[in-house]
Each structure stands twice: as C-alpha cells, then as structure tokens.
Amino acid sequence: MSKILFFQTVHSTPRIHPRIVTSILSKPLIIPSVSKCYSPISPFHSISLPALKHHFHSPSFSFPSSFPTRAFDDSSSSIETQNEKEEKVGEQSEIEEYPSGEMEYEKISGWKSFVVKLKMLIAFPWQRVRKGSVLTMKLRGQISDQLKSRFSSGLSLPQICENFVKAAYDPRISGVYLHIEPLNCGWGKVEEIRRHILNFKKSGKFIIAYIPACGEKEFYLACACEEIYAPPSAYFSLYGLTVQASFLGGVLEKIGIEPQVQRIGKYKSAGDQLTRKSMSEENCEMLTSLLDNIYGNWLDVVSSSKGMKREDVEHFINEGVYEVEKLKEEGFITNIHYDDEVISMLKERLGVQKDKKLSMVDYKKYSKVRKWTLGLTGGKDLIAVIRATGSISRVRSPLSTSSSGIVAEQIIEKIRSVRESKRYKAVIIRIDSPGGDALASDLMWREIKLLAASKPVIASMGDVAASGGYYMAMAAQTIVAENLTLTGSIGVVTGKFNLGKLYEKIGFNKEVISRGRYAELLAAEQRPFSLCYSDLGMSISYKYMSNTATFKVNAMVAYFPWNVKDVCFRPDEAELFEKSAQNAYKQFRDKAAFSRSMPVEKMEEVAQGRVWAGKDAASRGLVDAIGGLSRAIAIAKHKIKIPQDRPVTLVELSRPSPTLPEVLSGIGSSIVGVDRTVKELLQDLTFSDGVQARMDGIMFQRLEGFPNATPVISLIKDYLSSL
C-alpha cells in the first residue's frame, strides 16, 4: 500500500511511464498532533453517527445504489459519449433487491445423518475427529485472503470461514475455543470472521474466547462469542484508534532530492509523503472520516453485543482502563482465568473426568477434514471464484513468488478460461488490493467486462479494493463490500525525482544527448521537467518557469555561474506531463461513471482520489450491497435464477501450488521468512512501467495494521527473529 513511485523512461507519445524505486516510510506522524488537521473532531471522539447496531449484525443490511449497475456494451471497447451516458442514466429502473446470504442452520437428521456417520467411518485417518472434541483456533498475526497449500504456514481467511461452517454441522464437534491475539489484518477480514462466529452460534454449540493480549480488533471478534476469558496478567489496550501518515519532504529536501509527483484528484494523497512536510487539509478530512466510520462502528457493535449504551462504552474507553479486574467488573469480559483453568472448565462442561485429557482438534488438522465427509457437498451448478490479492503489476517479476501480488497476465488467463468454459454459471472476483499499475488494472477491467457480458460476475471486496482494485471491481455487474472495506480512490499518480542537487553535492555529473522533442521528459533525472542546461549547476524549481518570468530567470542566471545560452526553459514538458496524467484519470473516472450508470459530474464528486469506507461507498453508488463472500454467492444464485436453498459448488481457480520455501518451512521457518522478505524488498526495487492507480501508503495503527509498508523494517525484524 505504501509504494512510492519513481519514473524514468523515454517515450515519444504523450504517455507517462513510471518506475517503482522503493517503499519508504519514516516514523509515523500521529494525526491529532498535526496542526493542519482542521477537523474539530478528535479521532478519539468520533462523529455522532446514527444508531446502526441492528444493521451491523445482519448480513442482509445494505445501502442500495441510487443507480443500477450495468456491464459495458460488448460491441465496443471505447467509452460512450456523454450524451449516450445521460440517456442511459435517464432511463429509471427499479433498484434490485439482493438476497442476504445469511446462513440458515438446519440440523442433520434422518437418512442424511446415517450417511454422514458412514462417511466418517471410512474417512482417512488424518480426517477423523473424536466425538465430543473441541475445535481450537488461534487467530493471530497475518490472515491471508488467499487459499494456502498444505505446506504453507499462517492463517487463511477462506479456511477459517470453512472451519466454522464445518464445525457447526459436525456432530463430533461440541464447541469452539478461540485464542485471539494481536491481529495483523484489515477490518474487512475481521468483519467476515465475526459474521461466521455469529453464524456458528446458530448451531447451539458453545464458542468461547480467550484473549491474553487484546486491542480493538481482537475485542471486536471476542465480543461475538458467548464468553470471554483473560488471564490476570493480560495486556489490554482499548484506548481508541489512531491513523498515522509519514512525510519525507523535509528529509529529501536536505539531501537534495526533489520529487516531482503528478496526482490527479484533490484527495489523491499518494506521493504526499515524498513531497509534503505535513498533512494536507483534504487528506486530513478523508482520514478523519474513515477513522470516524471505523470507530463509530466499533462502538455500535461492542455496545450492542455487551448490552450496553454506546455512551457508556465510549466513556469506558476514554478512562484508559488497563486493569483486567476493571474489565470484569464492567462486564466487558466474563471472568479471569488462565488457559488451563478454561480447559478444566470445558472438561467439566462436557462431562470429561479431571484425570482425562480433553479431546481437542486444532485449526491445521481440522482444515484437512473434507466437507464431503459432513454431507456439505455442493450442487451441480458451478460458480468460479477468482481471487486477486496484493499490489497490481502487469507481468511477474523474476524474483516474485506464486503468491506475491496480482499479476495481470495470470488473472487474465484465468478470466478467459472461465469465459470460454460452459461449466460455470457465474463468477465471483474476490479482490483485496490497494491498486498498482494502471495499465494492468485496465487490461483486467477489459477482460472482466467481456466476462460479464457472457455470465453474471460479482465483485466481492475484502480489506481494501481501492484505486486499481476498484478499477477491476467496477467491471462486474454487482459489487459487494464489507462495512469497513476501504474502496474508491478513483485517481492516478505518476512522477519522477529531480536529483540535480544531490548530484551536485556528491560531485556526480550526467549529460544527455537526445533526439525528439520530448525525449528527455523522464530520462533526464538531473533536472526538473521544464529546465534544460548543459553545465550542471543548481536546479531551478518549476515555479520560475513561465512566459512571464523572464526577469526573474535572467536575474537568477546573473546570480549563478551559468551561461545564459546554456539554459533553456521548456514549460511544454510539464504541460505534456500534466495532460498525460489528466488523460489517465479521465479514462478511469469515465469508465467508473458508465459502469455505475452515473453522470460524470456525479462521479467526479465521489472520485478525486478519495477513499471511502464500504458503507459510505454504498450510499454514494460505488457499491451495491454490504456483506462478505456468502452474500456474493447468494447474489450469484439470484442472478442465475436458482433457489437460495439449492447448494452450489464453488470452484477455486486460484489454488496455490506449494513452493520450495513452503515445503522447507518446517525445517527453518525463520530463514524462509528472511528469504521471502529479501525477495519482496528486491521486487520493490525493480522497475515497472505504467501510470499508477494506487492507494496512498497510509499506516493505520490499530486500525489497518500493515507492517510490510516498509520492507527494510520487515527485513530487520525477520532477521532478528531468526537469531
């Protein structure tokens, strides 16, 4: 999310070709201390939002779009004229009501129960579970939106959700014991897991949480369980949420580097950490709104779950309580127990003798239990699921692994295979991406558009589907997002570094011989866009470049040891650069407007590079329904006109193949971790052509939690952990 762009390539046509140099984030700057943040709302005292408690517990809740979503006309790849768009928007149609996808639990009985027991008897030994077992899952660290191979370590969101479904119907599972520790994922995944916890409770089986270290995300999940336990020495940090942004403008200025970044959209803050020394008013407004959404949602859900008033929960947070005893007194946790005491309590509840061992099955082993064993097989109708996770690039880097980001050429291959196949009735594109290469995003958009012309396509968003991620989603017929999915950010960014002052300080010289009027537009990094001189001196800022600035320029030339004839000014370079970026932005915006059946003027109001929370995006027509993958499946059934109670078979087209590091992970996981981080770092340092549709490198402390924003820091941490 935090990749900063550096562009340097030569092209004679009015297109901009950037290169990624590296991801840099300095020590975060906390928003409340930023003087430019004019919002009167503190991040710890959120805007008074309407009471949405009952909505957040219902997967059927949605903000229907004011405009119906249509796929592009397959007859032409070009954008329709403004008049044609307005005519289509003028054709008012009824807002489509989408099914909720809420789980309806039905106990297995009769003949089906006998068949399930028979399947359990003939199952492989590694798929067998003792009767009366407790499913234990440790939710901590990173949670991937992708499927994991059998050799992979870490947690997978699809597998976590499937385990909850299997455990609800498995007669051998008596209940679930969750260990919830600090999570490193976005709020979209947290919402999805919480929904499956609530669905599991419909089975009548118990589910309890144990939280030795707890922040807002961890407690958000725990309060969905029936009981919450914590050890007396537990770390609780329920102090509120913060959002942080870093700025390197002052640092780069001191070392003689001048970033020249072209951002289209007043809210498009990608590049601000390079060019600015403090937060812009627009960025502050956007981040404050996002923070208020997440914090307000947290207060609503927690207060509803614990049967408290929102004001009481907020007051408790503002007291800065850290004592576990106080949390118990106020009813935030059930009791104070160590892990072994909770297990003893479970043994007593299940009638297990004290000297006997409680039968427990962990996440990894239970993941091997097939749904077929439990009679949860799908139907004859096939729905393809294509998962797109990570930063977007057009082609795979030689250093990248099979699971590193979204590679357009691979996703396109999968999309085409689904389009050409008659097996699949519908397709779900699962997106969890902050964006990336604009060209790659557009190529995938085109293929999704063609796919949507032949069969229903539903876009399901995870933690984030912004910039290039939203670019992909808007080609689908229906877009589904979580309440707190970060989405939108319709805008582009491009630019280069002017290294003239740095070169002067280190005594480096570079001379360029070129042919073609704009050949040096991005090739000459030793000067700004609009300055050309043969004798390297001190670079002149573009603010001096204008037809009316002759006197100032001549005065400067007289001051510095330059020959006037060695200096030439090219305002047309900066003009071309800006026009190229504007053209890329207009294509993005206009496609978004047509995809969402929205006038361009209306789309412009919600574009401008602004990031929206899912529920706000839905109320503004950028998203059709609120929910997770289960709701996307329900909508797909609705589109292909089959009953909601009829099972379907999901075909995952992004199943990973085990890599050598994954196979060897059991031998030296820490060494593999260092190797993986080195590869990620080197990959970030490689060059990639293309205008970027990328969300800003925002760091959400206790809010978004992406530690890999700075690969160097990750490398150091992995190295230290391996010692």
Q: How far apart are CA 678 and CA 673, in angstroms?
A: 9
Confidence of residue 73 (pLDDT cuts 50, 70, 90): very low
pLDDT(550) > 50: no
pLDDT(220) > 90: yes
Model pLDDT, residue 299: 96
Coil, helix or strand at residue 435: strand
Model pLDDT, residue 421: 95
Nearest partner of 263 among 579, 493, 575, 509, judged by Cα: 493
User: Is position 325 within any domain?
Assistant: yes
Q: CA angle, 691 as apex, 711 and 703 as ends, to 5°? A: 45
Nearest partner of 591 among 474, 721, 441, judged by Cα: 474
For 395, the token pair is: 């082609």
Q: How far apart are CA 228 and CA 374, in angstroms?
A: 29
Nearest partner of 432 among 90, 709, 146, judged by Cα: 146
Q: How far apart are CA 252 and CA 241, in angstroms?
A: 30
β-pairing, 478-481 with 625-626?
Answer: parallel
Same domain, yes or no: 116 and 215: yes
Q: How far apart are CA 143 and CA 159, in angstroms?
A: 10
End-to-end CA distance of the chain: 29
Mean pLDDT of the region 214-224: 95
Distance from CA of residue 172 to its chain's centroid?
36
Model pLDDT, residue 219: 96
Q: How far apart are CA 551 and CA 548, in angstroms?
A: 8
Same domain, yes or no: 360 and 485: no
Same domain, yes or no: 115 and 172: yes
pLDDT digits (tens, 9 = 90+) for 373-430: 888 888 899 999 999 999 999 887 655 555 568 999 999 999 999 999 999 999 999 9
pLDDT(457) > 50: yes
Q: Give 49 or 284, the one with higher predicted confidence.
A: 284
Residues 6+ apart with CB under 8 A from 319: none
Q: How far apart are CA 71 and CA 67, in angstroms?
A: 13
Same domain, yes or no: 329 and 400: no
Same domain, yes or no: 407 and 356: no
User: Is position 262 within any domain?
Assistant: no
Number of domains in the chain: 2
The torsion of the CA quartet 177, 182, 186, 190, rounded to 10 degrees, works out to 20
The answer to whether 332 touches 312, Cβ cutoff 8 Å, is: no
Q: Give 539 or 166, the one with higher predicted confidence.
A: 166
The answer to whether 272 touches 497, Cβ cutoff 8 Å, is: no
pLDDT digits (tens, 9 = 90+) for 236-275: 999 999 887 778 778 777 888 777 777 777 888 777 777 7
Active-site residue, selected from the candidate residues 100, 467, 489, 539: 467
DSSP secondary structure letters along 680-706:
HHHHHHS---S-EEE----B-TTTT--
For 495, the token pair is: 């630019």
Confidence of residue 662 (pLDDT cuts 50, 70, 90): very low
Same domain, yes or no: 481 and 336: no
Q: Which of 159-173, 369-383, 430-444, 494-508 has the lowest mean pLDDT?
A: 494-508
Q: Position of tokens 């030793």? A: 526
Mean pLDDT of the chain: 75
Model pLDDT, residue 542: 34
174, containing H or E segment: strand 173-184
pLDDT(129) > 60: yes
pLDDT(215) > 90: yes
* 60 part of the active site: no
Q: How far apart are CA 523 and CA 11, in angstroms?
A: 9
Strand partners, 651: 384
Same domain, yes or no: 337 and 474: no
Q: How far apart are CA 625 and CA 121, in angstroms?
A: 42
pLDDT(687) > 80: no
Nearest partner of 543 among 569, 516, 523, 514, judged by Cα: 569
463, containing H or E segment: strand 457-466
Same domain, yes or no: 233 and 212: yes
CA distances from 444 to 75, 188, 274, 404, 667 (A): 17, 23, 29, 17, 38
The answer to whether 459 touches 471, Cβ cutoff 8 Å, is: no
Nearest partner of 5 among 19, 16, 17, 26, judged by Cα: 19
CA distances from 221 to 145, 165, 214, 319, 572 (A): 17, 17, 10, 22, 56
Model pLDDT, residue 321: 84
Same domain, yes or no: 216 and 335: yes
User: Is position 699 within any domain?
Assistant: no
pLDDT(218) > 90: yes
Q: CA angle, 460 as apex, 458 and 463 as ends, to 5°? A: 165
Residue 331 CB coordination number (10 Å): 12
For 108, the token pair is: 């297995």
Strand partners, 262: 494
User: Is position 179 within any domain?
Assistant: yes
713: left (phi over 0), alpha (psi -120 to 50) or beta: alpha
Coil, helix or strand at residue 36: coil
pLDDT(167) > 50: yes
Model pLDDT, residue 528: 76
Residue 27 CB coordination number (10 Å): 6
The answer to whether 486 touches 695, Cβ cutoff 8 Å, is: yes
Model pLDDT, residue 265: 76
Q: Which of 126-130, 334-338, 611-615 has the lowest mean pLDDT?
A: 126-130
The answer to whether 382 touches 128, Cβ cutoff 8 Å, is: no
User: Is position 157 within any domain?
Assistant: yes
Write down which residue in 626, 657, 688 finishes a domain: 657
Strand partners, 649: 382
Q: Highest mean pLDDT range out of 96-100, 488-492, 615-619, 678-682?
A: 615-619
Strand partners, 137: 178
Confidence of residue 101 (pLDDT cuts 50, 70, 90): confident
DSSP secondary structure letters along 603-638:
HHHH-TT-EEEHHHHHHTTS-SEE--HHHHHHHHHH
Residue 40 CB coordination number (10 Å): 8
Model pLDDT, residue 246: 78
Nearest partner of 291 among 680, 600, 654, 701, judged by Cα: 701
The answer to whether 187 touches 154, Cβ cutoff 8 Å, is: no
Residue 368 burial (CB < 10 Å; 0-12/13-18/19+)?
middle
The answer to whether 503 touches 261, Cβ cutoff 8 Å, is: no
Q: Give the pTM.
A: 0.75
Same domain, yes or no: 472 and 618: yes
Model pLDDT, residue 398: 56
β-pairing, 611-613 with 486-488?
Answer: antiparallel
Model pLDDT, residue 355: 87
Mean pLDDT of the region 668-693: 45
The answer to whether 531 touches 570, Cβ cutoff 8 Å, is: yes
pLDDT digits (tens, 9 = 90+) for 470-499: 999 999 999 999 999 999 999 887 777 778
Same domain, yes or no: 482 and 624: yes
Mean pLDDT of the region 46-73: 35
Q: Highest mean pLDDT range out of 5-19, 285-299, 507-521?
A: 285-299
Q: What percent of the chain is predicted at pLDDT more than 70?
A: 70
CATH number at residue 360: 3.90.226.10
User: Is position 95 within any domain?
Assistant: no
Residues 6+ apart with CB under 8 A from 260: 495, 496, 497, 498, 528, 529, 542
Same domain, yes or no: 442 and 368: no
| Residue 408 identity (one-letter amino acid) | A
DSSP category for residue 651: E
pLDDT(197) > 90: yes
Model pLDDT, residue 549: 34
User: Is position 665 within any domain?
Assistant: no
Q: What percent of the chain is predicted at pLDDT more than 90?
A: 45
User: Is position 177 within any domain?
Assistant: yes
Q: How far apart are CA 219 and CA 576, in angstroms?
A: 52
Query: Which structural domain, as residue segments, surrounds residue 343?
Result: 110-239+320-374
